[in-house]
Structure 1
């Protein structure tokens, strides 16, 4: 079965393509390479023996997407293409609304025209905002606190409205918590362009000498050690979650929503300590002010994905750190090397 993967040369997209190929699917990638490299596509080929077809283009181009959907006989779409940094979205909200919301509307319009009705959306735990109770379930109140989170929430509402208006669609929403890690081969990992916006890639760049120290944003949160708590999940577990969703819901109409996390909250300091162990040395850090748009703590309730998708995060925090270090130490300058 042919699957269009938008943003398929990116971090989570490329590793999902690996999982798709290993599960017998044929991914076709559409990526504008704004935050990705073709080297990731080559790595997919070297790891699986099958290099996916990759088209350099943008989800703003409806005609291109219609042509791909029809000519490649696409049956399902997995949508990763989008900007993803919470702090950057606060300073550049229009970029985020334009790229994430308008881009998704363009993609859905192309699917509508081409007659493709199976869609898996890369959403985020940020749609829960500052949660009142933990862990958050798929039915917890939604109230995003950053422009990035609001783009994800808007798209979820769009998909829910679409399902009511056109009930022949199968629409799956996967709310990731904090994907980290890399392929254990060290061939595919997160290659942040410029200064990383997320904790793990920043920490990895400190470890290889590209950054002087790790800024820890806020030490006065109402958490056990004062630093923010997140549900860190291995990116390969997230990738496998997409394959499980595709297998389960292909042709099953309606909206299907799942949390993809471990069900366990870990603090910034816990991750910092685990990564220091993985790279074999203590790393420099500095406590700084909180970032706008960040919340104190969040982690997932994951029983729905376990029950309905037969999916569970299997990899440990130590594996997340070890695989990240293997990738970054082998590729200190990322794919540019």
Structure 2
């Protein structure tokens, strides 16, 4: 298929790109590189031996987005572009709303104009807010607790309205839990700007000596050891989920489907630290600090719907996720 991949130079996007190319798809990548590096795309080409087209543009540039659809025909769009740090979103909410919402609106307008109505959207488990129970099903109430999560929730509502208004749209909402790991080659991985917002890159940068210590945000949550519990899945497993969703969408006459992508198992921050030290043999000094705004205590998925409807399941265990993350960090101590 011919696929437009937005945010294809990012952490998740670059791993999706590898899977798309290895599966024989023709891909055009668009990215504004505000929180990603062109080097990631060069390395994807090296890993796969496949070529693809790259266009540097901002999705909020409506004219540029329309031009992308005039230059190429697409069977589907995978939309990963967006700002994605929970903590940062609480500090600059307008930037998040502007970037994530406006970019998606212009993308959907250009798709409709070009007659391309098959879309996989990169959503997030943050749309569930404070879940009453775990594991989390797709039909749980939605109520995000931070601006980042609300942008994902608002986009979901936007796409739901679009699908109701025009039944020829085929839309997949993939609610990611916590992707970690890296490509086993060690050539592409998570490359955050500044101090990482996510746990694994924070730990690997401490272990490699780039940062002095890990800050654990709160140890007074209602969990067995007081630290937050999350559902971690390998980024390559996550990337495969997009291929499964695309294949399933092509069999639909129209409508929307929603799937959690997670393992169904939660690990606390302290469990992650201990496992990391066991797998890598590296110490991770840490300090307990205040909770972060917008964080919740426990979040892990019920992935059964994705298993049954998409034929997808997470395959890699936590040791593999950590080993791949560490390989990436050791091979790229300063990122790209």
TM-score (norm: length of structure 1): 0.98
Q: CA deviation at 1:278?
A: 2.8
Secondary structure of residue in 2 paired with 1:257:
strand
Q: Partners of 1:84 and 1:109 in 2: how far apart?
A: 23
SS in 2 for 1:197: coil
Q: Which residue of 1 aligns with 2:265?
A: 264
User: 1:295: which partner in 2?
Assistant: 296
Cα distance in structure 2, aligned partners of 1:70 and 1:313: 37
What is the deviation of 1:251? 5.6
CA–CA distance in structure 2, aligned partners of residues 70 and 262 of structure 1: 39
Q: State the secondary structure of the residue aligned to 1:100.
A: helix
Query: 1:139 — aligned with what?
Result: 139
Once the two structures are superposed, what CA deviation does each residue of 1:254-278 show, in whole Å capped at 9, x if it has no partner? Answer: 0110000000011111111121223
Deviation at 1:49, TM superposition (A): 0.6
Over 4 Å off, 4+ runs: none
Cα distance per residue 1:219-276 (max 9 Å; x no partner): 0100011100000010000000000000111262101100000000111111111212
Residue 283 of structure 1 aligns with which residue? 284
Q: What does residue range 212-223 of structure 1 map to in structure 2 within 5 Å?
A: 212-223=212-223
Render the CA deviation track for 1:174-212: whole Å, top value 9, x for unaligned.
000000000011000000011111111111111111110
Aligned length: 335
Name the residue aligned to 2:172.
Answer: 172
CA RMSD of aligned residues (A): 0.9
**TM-aligned CA distance change 1:251 to 1:103, over 3 Å:** farther
In structure 1, distance between residues paired with 2:300 and 2:206: 26
Q: Give how far 1:27 is off.
A: 1.5
Write the distance in 2 (CA, Å) between the matches of 1:325 and 1:70.
Answer: 42
TM-score by length of 2: 0.98
1:232 to 2:207 alignment: no
- Report the CA distance between 1:40 and its aligned residue: 0.7
- Structure 1 gap segments, 5+ residues each: none
Distance of 2:313 and 2:106 partners within structure 1: 32
1:36-47, aligned counterparts within 5 Å? 36-47=36-47
Aligned to 1:210: 210
CA contact (8 A) 1:262 1:313 kept: yes
Q: 2:119–2:171: 8 Å Cα contact kept in structure 1?
A: yes
Q: How far apart are residue 132 of structure 1 and its match?
A: 0.2
Which secondary structure state, in structure 2, belongs to the residue aligned with residue 238 of structure 1? Answer: helix
Kept after mapping to 1: 8 A contact 2:206/2:213: yes
Please give the alpha-carbon distance, in whole angstroms, between the structure 2 residues aligned to 1:26 and 1:314.
26
The answer as to whether partners of 1:207 and 1:279 remain within 8 angstroms in 2 is no
Q: Which residue of 2 aligns with 1:81?
A: 81
Alignment correspondent of 1:103: 103
Assess if the C-alpha contact under 8 Å between 1:170 and 1:251 holds in 2: no
Match of 1:332 in 2: 333
Deviation of the 1:65 alpha carbon: 1.8
Please report how far the alpha carbon of residue 281 of structure 1 lies from its aligned counterpart in structure 2 after TM superposition. Answer: 2.1
Are 2:264 and 2:302, in contact at CA under 8 Å, matched by a contact in 1? yes
Determine if contact 2:182/2:188 at 8 Å carries over to the other structure: yes
Superposed CA deviations along residues 10-50 of structure 1, whole A, max 9, x for unmatched, are: 00000000001111111210000111111111111111111
Paired residues of 1:230 and 1:298 also in contact (CA < 8 A)? yes
Deviation at 1:284, TM superposition (A): 0.6
SS in 2 for 1:126: helix
**1:70 Cα deviation (Å)?**
2.9
User: Residue 131 of structure 1 aligns to a residue in which SS?
Assistant: coil
Deviation digits for residues 260-307 of structure 1 (CA, Å, limit 9, x no counterpart)? 000001111111112122321221100111000000001000110000
1:177, 1:299 within 8 Å by CA — same for their partners in 2?
yes
Gaps of 5+ in 2: none
Pair 1:21 & 2:26 matched:
no
